[in-house]
Structure 1
Amino acid sequence: MIEQIFILNNSTSENFKAICPVFDISEVSVGQHFYWQIGDYQLHGQVLITSWLVLGSVIIFTLLANSNLKPLPVGLQNFTELVTEFIRDLAKTQIGEEEYLKWVPFLGTIFIFVFVSNWAGALLPWRLIELPSGELAAPTNDINTTVALALLTSISYFYAGIRKKGLGYFKRYISPAVFLLPINVLEDFSKPLSLSFRLFGNILADELVVGVLVALVPLFVPIPVMLLGVFTSAIQALVFATLAGAYIGESIEDHH
């Protein structure tokens, strides 16, 4: 009985693919990876490829926009200055007026990388590019990328706190009472976990929903969901950068 159902599903799938070529794109399941084998180690090749493409596009766009700076910004220079001003305001709000300028480059890099990575997954048809195995997707679709970004954030707020307060920074673990030590330590472990899984989960869920809808109704129904994915991708980049700034600001603030 099970074999008959399996054969029937296969024949139905083949007939559907013959009728609708879009199904060939949607049948690639989310989560397949393209690996590079280096000795005894496997690297996620699709993450490195798409990350290099994202970084390359950001660098090229920045060079083109700022190669001929003018006192009165126009065109692409106007756009880059708008983004810079937005990041400065975000850093100032989360970190404070005294320290925020030092952290604008870090928060700006985090925000732009996550933003462009998310949009690359929402806008670019990566699955049209055929690979021997696996598939291409947004860098933030891989848990390794989001964990790396979260760990960088953790290192940054530890660095910020120790740089300003020295070893006195660790007094926060027994503040306002010694018995709160386990809870305060657990909080520092939960921050990178929540950052990484929030970003990874939202991007992966968006691609799963779009993939299922394309398989079921491949013509017009998935378009609103894809547009919603573009919006939520931008929101996730903002949330990640905002929380990173908030954690840094919390580590350097004075507790009385």
Structure 2
Amino acid sequence: MVHDLYQNSINVLDNKLLFINISSVEVGKHLYWQLGNYQVHGQVFMVTWLVIFALLSIAFVGTRDLKRIPENYQNFMEYILEFLQDIAKNQIGEHEYRSWVPYISTIFLFILGSNWAGALIPWKLIQLPEGELAAPTNDINTTVALALLTSFAYFYAGLRKNGLGYFSRYIEPTPVLLPINILEDFTKPLSLSFRLFGNVLADELVVSVFTLLVPILIPLPVMILGLFASSIQALIFATLSAAYIGEAIEGHGEHE
């Protein structure tokens, strides 16, 4: 009996050590920055800041000399604004969409800028001590953070519009669906984050492989296709975010 207890203890210890070893597995190399007790991926922050700076610069140049009759660049900026307003209006509704245009626009433009930065700029030419520069959306931490922002946004939208009655949707049309309705709120951010991460990563891998195999002309059509796919991914993320917010605002499945 003592031998059995000893053997069981050894098995438990081995299982714990195996779990610790698995949990410490790291995919790829990263340039780590130490911020207090936390380590962050430095290469992601560097490209993120560049994308944000580029977006702010474009916005500043496009709005510094506004005219009553728009011309040239102002026309382009107003077209982009109308396009983003249409996304919010179609998914959230005529009466509620205006307050959500800044969020939907920011999500779309940041993801689009990040995806295009990874597709257009040859980051691999810049050598880092560890890891390599790439699109911020190529990192699962970025896409999960964006998806969680959307989760917080639609919870906030539902509670602001319907109060605590928002949670009654979990037992509609029948309380039997309570576990499924709760699970749905966990699958939404997972779906958003992994869809974006997987598509951006796959696109960059395909371009990298074609560049290594045929480094002259063949990668160009693939890069153009990657730009198109990157734009579609930004549109899908922004549209789904707006749709989730609109669903939360509706409440009880009734359109206003």
Q: Per the shorter chain, which TM-score range?
A: 0.7 to 0.9
Q: Distance in 2 between matches of 1:248 and 1:168?
A: 16
Residue 86 of structure 2 aligns with an amino acid whose one-letter code is D
1:188 paired residue number: 185
Pick from 154, 157, 161 the counterpart of residue 158 of structure 2.
Answer: 161
1:126 aligns with 2:123: yes
Instruction: Tell me the alpha carbon deviations over residues 82-106 of structure 1, each in whole angstroms, 9 at most, x when there is no partner.
Output: 1100011110000000100010000
Whether 2:228 is the aligned partner of 1:231: answer: yes
SS of the equivalent of 2:150 reads helix
Correspondence for 1:61: 58
Residue 89 of structure 2 corresponds to residue 77 of structure 1: no
Q: 1:33 aligned to 17, 30, 39, which one?
A: 30
Spell out the pairing of 1:167-178 with structure 2 (5 A cutoff). 167-178=164-175
User: Which residue, out of 93, 97, 100, partners 2:94?
Assistant: 97
Please give the secondary structure, in 2, of the residue aligned with 1:196. helix
Q: Aligned-pair RMSD on alpha carbons?
A: 1.3
SS of equivalent to 2:65? coil
Code of the aligned partner of 1:58? L
1:41 to partner: Cα distance: 2.9
Aligned-partner Cα distance in 2 for 1:167–1:41: 35
SS in 1 for 2:194: helix
Aligned to 2:17: none
SS at match of 2:40: strand
In 1, distance between residues paired with 2:213 and 2:244?
42
Which structure's relative contact order is higher, taking Cα pairs within 8 Å and 6+ residues apart?
Answer: 1
* Alignment correspondent of 2:145: 148
* Alignment match of 1:135 (pick from 132, 139, 142): 132
Q: Deviations over 1:118-144 (max 9, x none)?
A: 000000111111212211011101001
1:203 correspondence with 2:200: yes
| Pairing 1:44–2:38 present | no
Q: Distance in 2 between matches of 1:33 and 1:124?
A: 19
**Is 1:249 the equivalent of 2:246?**
yes
- Matched residue type, 2:230: S
CA distance in 1, matches of 2:63, 2:160: 33
**Distance (whole Å) between structure 2 residues aligned to residue 198 and residue 183 of structure 1:** 21
Structure 1 stretch displaced more, 128-137 or 183-192: 128-137
- Counterpart-to-counterpart distance in 2, 1:155 and 1:249: 13
Shift of 1:192: 0.2
State whether residues 34 and 136 of structure 1, in contact with CA within 8 Å, keep that contact through their aligned partners in structure 2.
no
CA distance in 1, matches of 2:224, 2:29: 24
Q: Decide whether the 8 Å contact of 1:65 with 1:80 is kept in 2.
A: yes
Q: How far apart are 1:31 and its partner, in Å?
A: 4.3
C-alpha distance in 2 between matches for 1:249 and 1:37: 39
Q: Which runs of 5+ in 2 are unaligned?
A: 1-26
Q: Distance in 2 between matches of 1:230 and 1:60?
A: 21
Deviates more, 1:34-43 or 1:138-147: 34-43
Structure 1 CA distance, aligned partners of 2:97 and 2:177? 29
| SS of residue matched to 2:30 | coil
| Farther off after superposition, 209-218 or 199-208 | 209-218
Deviations, residues 23-81 of structure 1 (Å, cap 9, x unaligned):
xxxxxxx9432222345432100111111000001111111111011011112211111
